[in-house]
Amino acid sequence: MTLDFNALRELKKDQDTFQHPDFYAIDDLLTDEHKLIRNAVRDWVKREVSPIIEACCQEAVFPHHLIKGLGEVGCFGPQIPAEYGGGGLDYISYGLAMQELERGDSGIRSTASVQGSLVMYPIYKFGSEQQKHTYLPKLASGEWMGCFGLTEPDHGSDPSSMKTRLTRQNGKYILNGSKMWISNAPFADIAVVWAMNDDGKVQGVIVERGMAGFTTPETHNKWSLRASATGELVFDQVEIPEENILPGVVGLKGPLTCLNSARYGISWGAIGAAMDCYVSAVKYAKERKQFGKPIGAFQLQQKKLSEMLTEITKAQVLTWRLGTLMNEGKASPAQISLAKRNNVDMALNIAREARQIHGAMGITGEYPIMRHMANLESVITYEGTHDIHLLILGMEITGENAFS
């Protein structure tokens, strides 16, 4: 399906007038730089994403043309040092950028968080100087796109049982196996892939499109994240040059360290989706009249709206504090799990309540509600499911591992 993006942009120009709720004046805790980044991404989303995103989701089209703009507005690796092409910004700036992108659509935030936290970050953290200089600047600008392969058809929550193998054969490294549910896979130029080496340890490698035996079939028929491209990574005797192996880490802590950064970004992103649903619900409740009054005059609707604002405000305070801990290098994986788990669940509940406030209109593409709700069904599953994050917290509290 070909969409006329220029026509859509013209048709829906200036229609997105979003202002974020800030009941506890969280803005007072932000620096001028934070607000600058937040506003720049928000303006870009209003101009480039909002007018086209509904059509993209309806038609299940990934808007490739947005990649350049995402790079220009600094959404690819804002937390990566500037010497490698990143934004050199702090974690609150990174979080605010993810919030604004997900306010537009979870799929667009997904594209950016995979690129920044799951492709650039491992290369920055675990790569050689040569790998950093070769890949990071091109990934920061969006000239190259990447994806992150951890999940396999038979191993999602339990990546330590992965089957993908990196073996030494006749002095060469050979990769065999497959990954599934990989965001950006169908168009990625490179893939950061985690495989089991000959010592039975997880090892990261950079696989480049065009390497013989490497294919990326697209996954179709999704009811969620329809504006994001998802696919498989298939490795059939792929020869990996030694310089493509990430030298800085061995073991599952490699991919899990990257997930800390991405899960943190999601905790902010989910607030964006929740805000969009809340703002739409408030407007609708004030305008829609039944029984001679705006529905917002009825107690039941006020309860829904009050609880939404309460939950958004709690999530804003939580993520701001987590951001300061991230900046100080003190955020623990369990603290990140708490925020990802709480905020995505919060956003999904708000989407469901907002859908009810919009009545039948809530199921249409006239409003963003159903799109956010369907997207959040993926967000609550990827980067560690809702239940896995609960078990991470349970282990932190009790010292007992209830995973296995």
The amino acid at 211: M
Among ligand TGC, ligand FAD, none, residue 149 binds (CB under 5-8 Å by kind)? ligand FAD
Three-state SS at 165: strand
Of 260, 261, 316, 335, the residue at the interface with ligand TGC (CB under 6 A) is 260
Is 208 one of the annotated active-site residues of the chain? no
How far apart are the C-alpha atoms of 263 and 253, rounded to whole Å? 15
Q: Is 182 in the site for ligand FAD (CB under 6 A)?
A: yes
Query: What are the backbone angles phi and psi of residue 282, rounded to the nearest 5°?
Result: -60, -45
Query: What are the backbone angles phi and psi of residue 44, rounded to the nearest 5°?
Result: -65, -40
Tokens of 161: 């049982």
The residues, ordered by sequence, that sit 6+ positions from 267 with a Cβ below 8 Å of its Cβ are: 95, 315, 318, 319, 322, 336, 339, 340, 342, 343, 344
Of 119, 162, 378, 380, the residue at the interface with ligand FAD (CB under 6 A) is 378
How far apart are the C-alpha atoms of 273 and 267, rounded to whole Å? 11
Q: Which stretch binds ligand FAD (CB under 6 A): 176-184, 208-216, 260-268, 362-370?
A: 176-184
39 phi-psi bin (left φ>0, alpha ψ -120 to 50, beta other): alpha
Site map (CB under 6 A) of ligand TGC, residues 147-166, x = contact = -x-xx-----x-xx------
Among ligand FAD, ligand TGC, none, residue 35 binds (CB under 5-8 Å by kind)? none
Q: Is 257 in the site for ligand TGC (CB under 6 A)?
A: yes
CA distances for 124 relative to 111, 117, 311, angstroms: 18, 10, 35
Among ligand FAD, ligand TGC, none, residue 230 binds (CB under 5-8 Å by kind)? ligand FAD
Q: Which is nearer to ligand TGC, 200 or 210 (CB)?
A: 200
Sign for the pseudo-dihedral over CA of 277, 281, 283, 287: positive
Q: Which stretch binds ligand FAD (CB under 6 A): 119-127, 292-300, 328-336, 382-390?
A: 382-390
Helix, strand, coil share of the chain (percent; to 5): 55, 15, 30
The residue count for binding ligand TGC (CB under 6 A) is 24
Q: Is 315 in the site for ligand TGC (CB under 6 A)?
A: no
Q: Which is nearer to ligand TGC, 84 or 181 (CB)?
A: 181
Find where tokens 């709480």 sit: 342
| Residues 111 to 170 in contact with ligand FAD, rule: CB under 6 A | 114, 147-151, 156-157
Smallest separation (angstroms) from ligand FAD to the CB of 107: 8
Q: Is 218 in the site for ligand FAD (CB under 6 A)?
A: no
How far apart are the C-alpha atoms of 399 and 396, rounded to whole Å? 6
The binding site for ligand FAD (CB under 6 A) comprises 114, 147-151, 156-157, 181-183, 225, 230, 378, 381-383, 385, 387-388, 391, 403
- Catalogue the active-site residues: 383
By the criterion CB under 6 A, which residues form the site for ligand TGC? 110, 113-114, 148, 150-151, 157, 159-160, 183, 251-253, 256-257, 259-260, 333, 382-384, 388, 392, 403
